[in-house]
Structure 1
Amino acid sequence: MKKIDYKKEYRELYLPKQEPMLVNVPKITYVTVCGKGDPNTCEEYKEAIELLYGISYTIKMSKMTDDKIDGYFEYVVPPLEGLWWLDKKPEDLFISDKSKFYWKAMIRLPEFVTIDVFEIAKNKLKVKKPNLDINKINYEEIEEGKCVQIMHIGSYDSEITSIKKIYDFIDENGLEIDINDCRLHHEIYLSDPRKTKVENLKTVIRYPVK
């Protein structure tokens, strides 16, 4: 069986064009960690990323252990994603003070990962990385439904250019932004900022609509 790469298998979700498009996002299972603060500077975000990748690779490498998982298939660990929100709706589309952000960092889980498989992986990670707060990790199913998304290429700080395109598309097509406690500003990070020039960073930006 071929190795599943979710970015290629579900191109409509992960590889949109640089112009806004409508997409219907089905229910997807994620490992998530919630927190608050500037992702560039706060230790909480750094720990969240370590937890997410720790769980993801514990599950992926289970094939090398005696704990075989029913239905396991070869796959590429999906990209890091994030949901972002504030205490109240901002007056401007772009927020310069990133310390005000609440976030939910997350990575998609393969379909064979049940809650039982997830709990076993958590226990393994706890033994391997006792310094991490394993209780911050959650197993979540998220169904976003109808959204407008775009591929943004460039600095995270220049996302306003793509967000404005999304707002214009929403207005032109008789839609409304539908951000609430369950449906939030969503970003998918397709590039590794440690290895990619800022001007080449690829980020999917997604807004829920109705």
Structure 2
Amino acid sequence: MKTDFKKTLACYTAKRGTFDFVDVPPLRYMMVDGRGDPNTAQSYADAIAAVYPVAYALKFLSKNELGRDYVVMPLEALWSASNMDVFTTERDKSQWNWTLLNMVPDWIEQDMFDTAVAESMAKRHTSVHVDLRMEVLHEGRCVQTLHIGSYDDEAEVLHRLHHEFIPAAGATMTGRHHEIYLSDPRRVEPSKLRTILRQPIEEAKVVGVDNP
């Protein structure tokens, strides 16, 4: 049996045109950090080039050594900036901080991850060094929606999410803006790209009143 976490984890489904609350459990990810315009920064291209070979090396190690096969998860990213308006109004991509993510099963241990990284580097015969690590991310309570269209068309949706829906719900943003790329931009035209947009939040605590 091959596990597809996109089908077993509710946080990997979202609906277009609505903002929905979701509780995201602690999940294990391969991660790499960087900064700059994802369209032009060489570090971003290098990170993507490093993530997928390791992801598939992990998949085959898991299948061959543990007898546990799974579908490699899509690329994801956490985004932040000192001024979050660079995502919604200014769109100054040079100011974007990012952490690329790829979810891995919780049965993957550090030694297996280290082996996958070493095997991938050996096969690629590259001198480019990318600081890949494996960590658990716990986002907890979040709001998310499905965006269909180009990445540059996300700004209006994010503005409504950040400045209208979340404040109206009595919540505040915590953590970093999270995107899950369900489509491969090399194979899908920009107008049809499917991306889950997620924002961790903290909801206002309601203080109960004891009945007399």
TM-score range, shorter chain: 0.7 to 0.9
1:152 corresponds, among 122, 125, 147, to 147
Q: 3-state SS of the aligned residue for 1:136?
A: coil
Tell me which amino acid in the other structure corresponds to 2:179. E
Tell me which amino acid in the other structure corresponds to 1:41. T
2:169 aligned partner: 173
Tell me which amino acid in the other structure corresponds to 2:47. A
User: How far apart, in 1, do the equivalents of 2:128 and 2:7 lie?
Assistant: 33
User: Is the 8 Å Cα contact of residues 50 and 130 (structure 2) preserved in structure 1?
Assistant: no
- What are the residue-to-residue correspondences of 1:92-103 with 2, within 5 Å? 93-103=88-98
Unaligned runs of at least 5 residues, structure 2: 203-212
**Cα shift readout 1:101-132 (whole Å, capped 9, x = no counterpart):** 11101100122211111111112122112315
2:80 aligned partner: 85
Q: 3-state SS of the aligned residue for 1:96?
A: coil
Closer, same or farther: CA 173–140 of 1 in aligned 2, 3 Å? same
1:8 aligned partner: 7
Tell me which amino acid in the other structure corresponds to 1:122. V
1:197 corresponds, among 183, 189, 198, to 189
Tell me which amino acid in the other structure corresponds to 1:201. L
Closer, same or farther: CA 132–101 of 1 in aligned 2, 3 Å? farther
Verify: 1:130 aligned to 2:129, yes or no.
no
Instruction: Quote how far apart the aligned CAs of 1:89 are.
Output: 4.1
Instruction: Quote how far apart the aligned CAs of 1:158 are.
Output: 0.8
Sequence identity percentage: 35
In the alignment of these two chains, the number of paired residues is 200
1:206 aligned partner: 198
User: Is the 8 Å Cα contact of residues 81 and 105 (structure 1) preserved in structure 2?
Assistant: yes
Q: 3-state SS of the aligned residue for 2:26?
A: strand
Closer, same or farther: CA 91–7 of 1 in aligned 2, 3 Å? closer
Q: 3-state SS of the aligned residue for 1:131?
A: coil
User: How far apart, in 2, do the equivalents of 1:92 and 1:42 lie?
Assistant: 17
Instruction: Quote how far apart the aligned CAs of 1:59 are.
Output: 1.2
User: How far apart, in 2, do the equivalents of 1:84 and 1:91 lie?
Assistant: 11
Closer, same or farther: CA 112–91 of 1 in aligned 2, 3 Å? closer
User: How far apart, in 2, do the equivalents of 1:50 and 1:31 lie?
Assistant: 13
User: How far apart, in 2, do the equivalents of 1:87 and 1:165 lie?
Assistant: 19
Tell me which amino acid in the other structure corresponds to 1:40. N
Range that drifts further, 132-141 or 107-116: 132-141
User: Is the 8 Å Cα contact of residues 61 and 112 (structure 2) preserved in structure 1?
Assistant: no
- The two structures, once aligned, show a CA RMSD in angstroms of 1.8
**Cα shift readout 1:14-64 (whole Å, capped 9, x = no counterpart):** 221121011111111111111111111111111101111011011112368
TM-score (norm. length: structure 2): 0.87
Tell me which amino acid in the other structure corresponds to 1:38. D
User: How far apart, in 2, do the equivalents of 1:23 and 1:132 lie?
Assistant: 41
User: Is the 8 Å Cα contact of residues 20 and 165 (structure 1) preserved in structure 2?
Assistant: no
2:46 aligned partner: 47
2:208 aligned partner: none
Q: 3-state SS of the aligned residue for 1:159?
A: helix
User: Is the 8 Å Cα contact of residues 46 and 130 (structure 2) preserved in structure 1?
Assistant: no
TM-score (norm. length: structure 1): 0.88
- What are the residue-to-residue correspondences of 1:104-115 with 2, within 5 Å? 104-115=99-110
